Structure 1
């Protein structure tokens, strides 16, 4: 009799951004929803399939997602003492079925891998964060990690973040009591730009091709700390 199968170490694609149907899996949130003045869009950029034929081998030869807008710290009149501006982001929509909500199990993988292209105003490139929501009683809890880019020319690159390096936050504040991420039940994944944290304004643009879960053998760049 053969023993139990080993856990799969094959890279797990969580989300692609290569079609209109892919883009429709995500919902936007921006400070202008509650009184701010920033803007946010998540579109399918079909021009990248042509442009990337002239760039590096890493570049995907297909349409990709484009998260873009204007980061502004100001708020609408009357909201000056009630709101801090400077936020925009997107995350996956809840996925419901007849049997309940769908979740992702990444417990057999050590790293979150994102293929991204940081563009826009150079000042805004250091204000991006990736956010993970797990299944739990406190829906405002988010696991968060800053995105550190290696390139400054807007080219495509793979970023690898160990799941163990994510920090648990609630409404933007790091919780004093940190726990281990419940990687067996990932509800949503998203990316945000937090200009209000660093006092940064200006146009931003982020290309997104894919979000995956991988192990050491698939890490091609030094992982983020």
Structure 2
């Protein structure tokens, strides 16, 4: 996936960023950083294909499936945690038994195995965030966009999430993480600092 001279602004305002030339490669975790208002969420939207940049273009060679894990988790209140993670597997055509087995293993990786049968509305903010990350991984996307994944997590859990995103990238996914967390930045393989494109 390649960004060629990408820039964006809203209306007649000053450009958020311009002349971004970056090639995103499978197997890498990109920390998307910059001060508040620098356009991190806008860049994620451009990468997702939801926003057309004001300038330049995005070439999506090899990227067919995109998943975005938002900063504020949003699930189905009365569905269980395991339901949320099983659904992407079922959509990929696996059996119910296989989907449940994979979902339980993934929940365990995010420290949620004891909450598998709990309804979403019963989860804390940090638990809901980890659940959405687990669901994002289950989607088996070519490009996984993650907005501030560790904002609601303690240090130990945040380190676990960072390691899991790294493991996912090593399986061939492009991972782009918008973050203010220096630990997440340090755990990434590459850094895209939007302040460099002001």
TM-score band w.r.t. shorter chain: under 0.3
TM-score, structure 1 normalization:
0.24
* Structure with the bigger percentage of helix: 2
TM-score, structure 2 normalization:
0.26
Say which structure, 1 or 2, has more relative contact order (CA 8 Å, 6+ apart). 2
* Structure with the bigger percentage of strand: 1
